[in-house]
Amino acid sequence: MTANQTAQPGYSGALPPKAGIGLKPQHYDAVLDAETQPGRPAWVEVHPQNYFCDGGPPHRWLAAVAEQYPISFHSVGLSLGTADGLIDDQLDRLAALCERYQPAIVSDHLSFSGNAHDRYADLLPVPYTKEALDHFVTQVDRVQQRLGRSILIENPSCYLAYADNEMSETDFLAQLIGRTGCGLLLDINNIVVTTGNLGENPRAWLSQIEAEWVGEIHLAGHATEIHESGPLYIDDHGSAVGDVAWMHYFDFIATHGAKPTLIEWDTNTPDYATYMAEADKAQAILDAVAR
C-alpha cells in the first residue's frame, strides 16, 4: 500500500470489541488459568520488542497464551518519526514475530525515539508539519508493505507544542489515515494528558475523530505534578484509570459504539485481581452500550 493508492481507513485483524489487558510476566499463570481467577480478559496485548529473542521462556509463555486468546502487538520500537528512517532490524524482527504469532492487530506510535546515532527511552511527539506528515506517510507505507497488513497509529502524550506546527494533531492524524489506510489506536489517557498540558479541550479533540478510524482504545492512569505554572500531567501508566478518562471513554463509546479496549498498567503493576477489576469497568461500559 502506497500513498498514491486509494486507501481505505481501517485496520487488519479481528479483536473482539471487549476489554483486554496488557500481558505482564507476573500474570502469565493467572491468564493461562483464568477459569480459577477473578476474571478473564477477552484478549491480551504485548510489546513485541519483549519477544525479539529467538526462543526461551518468553516464547513458551506467549505461545501458550496465543492458543487461548486473541493477541495484539503494540510496538514501541519502530520510531516511525525518526528523520533517518526506520531501524531495519526492528522491522525485520517485528515481521518475523507477526509471521510466527499472527496477531489480530499491530500498532505503533505517532512519535520518534532517536536517530541513526542515538536511541531515547521515550516516545517523543513529532512536529505537525507537512514535511513531517510526508515523512510519516512514507514510513507507515513501508511498514505496512513489509508486514502485509494495515497497522494502527496511537496518538501521543505531549508536554509541549512545537512552535512551527502547521496543523492540529487531529488534522495530522486524519491526513495520515487517509493517505496510508492505517487506523487509529485511540489513547484516551493521552488525550487527557495532552489537552491538560497544552490547555486544549479534550471534547473538541474527540469530536474530530471518525469512528471508523478507531481499531482499538487504550485506557491508563497518569501522574500529576504541581508546579508554580500549574499542573503537569505525566503519562506513566502507573495507576488506575482516572475519572476524567473514564468519562471521555463512556462518551466516545456511547456515541460511536463498542471498540476493543485495553487497560494499560505498565509501572507499579498491580496483582491480577486489581488489574482485572479495571478491565471489568471497561467491559461494563461496553456491555451497557450494547444493550
Residue 13 within any structural domain of the chain: no
Residue 13 has pLDDT above 70, yes or no: no
Letter for the amino acid at 257?
Answer: G
* Strand spans (E) along the chain: 19-22, 44-46, 71-74, 105-109, 111-114, 119-125, 152-154, 183-187, 214-219, 223-227, 230-234, 261-263
Residue 7 within any structural domain of the chain: no
* Those residues with Cβ within 8 angstroms of residue 184's Cβ, 6 or more apart along the chain or in another chain: 152, 153, 154, 155, 173, 177, 209, 213, 214, 215
Residue 9 has pLDDT above 50, yes or no: no
Which of the two residues, 227 and 113, has the higher pLDDT score?
227
Residues 238/268, Cβ–Cβ less than 8 Å: yes
Which residue in 278, 289, 285 sits closest to 20, CA to CA?
278
Quick one: what percent of the chain has pLDDT higher than 70? 91
Domains in the chain, number: 1
Residue 6 has pLDDT above 60, yes or no: no
Which of the two residues, 130 and 87, has the higher pLDDT score?
130
Residue 151 within any structural domain of the chain: yes
Question: What pLDDT, on the 0 to 100 scale, is given for residue 229?
Answer: 87
pLDDT band at 116 (very low <50, low <70, confident <90, very high): low
Q: Structural domain of residue 275, as residue ranges?
A: 19-290
pLDDT mean over 222-238: 91
Question: What pLDDT, on the 0 to 100 scale, is given for residue 290?
Answer: 75
Q: CATH number, domain at 87? A: 3.20.20.150
Question: What pLDDT, on the 0 to 100 scale, is given for residue 37?
Answer: 84
Element (H, E) at 142: helix 130-147
Place of cell 466516545: 252
pTM above 0.85, yes or no: yes
pLDDT digits over 29-68, tens only?
A: 999 998 888 789 999 999 999 999 988 999 999 999 999 9
Give the whole-angstrom CA distance, residue 187 versus residue 206. Answer: 11
* DSSP 8-class letter at 267: S
Which residue in 31, 75, 88, 11 sits closest to 275, CA to CA?
31
- What's the Cα-to-Cα distance from 42 to each of 15, 199, 233, 273, rounded to whole Å? 9, 36, 30, 15
Residues 124/113, Cβ–Cβ less than 8 Å: yes
Letter for the amino acid at 49?
Answer: Q
pLDDT mean over 201-211: 98
Residue 71 within any structural domain of the chain: yes
Question: What pLDDT, on the 0 to 100 scale, is given for residue 89?
Answer: 83
Residue 14 within any structural domain of the chain: no
pLDDT digits over 59-95, tens only?
A: 999 999 999 999 999 999 898 888 877 766 889 999 9
Residue 1 within any structural domain of the chain: no
pLDDT mean over 99-128: 85
Residues 192/157, Cβ–Cβ less than 8 Å: no
Least confident span in 196-200, 231-235, 271-275: 231-235
Residue 4 within any structural domain of the chain: no
pLDDT digits over 145-183, tens only?
A: 999 999 999 999 999 999 999 999 999 999 999 999 999
pLDDT mean over 183-187: 98
Give the whole-angstrom CA distance, residue 113 versus residue 162. Answer: 17
**CA distance from start to end of the chain:** 38
